[in-house]
Amino acid sequence: MSNLFFRIGGEESGQGMAEYALILCFVALAAVFGFSYLGEQIRGRVNSFANSFE
C-alpha cells in the first residue's frame, strides 16, 4: 500500500515542472505583447527627452 502512495507521489515532480514551464511561457508572451504595445509610447518619450537637450 505504501508503495502505491510512493508511485503516485513521485509523479508530482514532472507535473510541477510542466506547470512552471506553462507559467513561464505565459509570462514571456505577456511581456512580448506588453512591450510591443507600449514600445512606440516609450520610444516617443525617450526621443522627446533626448531632443530636449539639443
Bigger pLDDT: 12 vs 51: 51
> How close are the terminal C-alpha atoms of the chain, in Å?
78
Q: pTM for the complete prediction?
A: 0.52
Determine what percent of the chain falls in helix, strand and coil, rounding each to the nearest 5: 90, 0, 10
* CA trace torsion 3, 5, 11, 15 (10° rounding): 180
4-50 pLDDT tens trace: 555 555 555 667 888 999 999 999 999 999 888 888 888 888 899 99
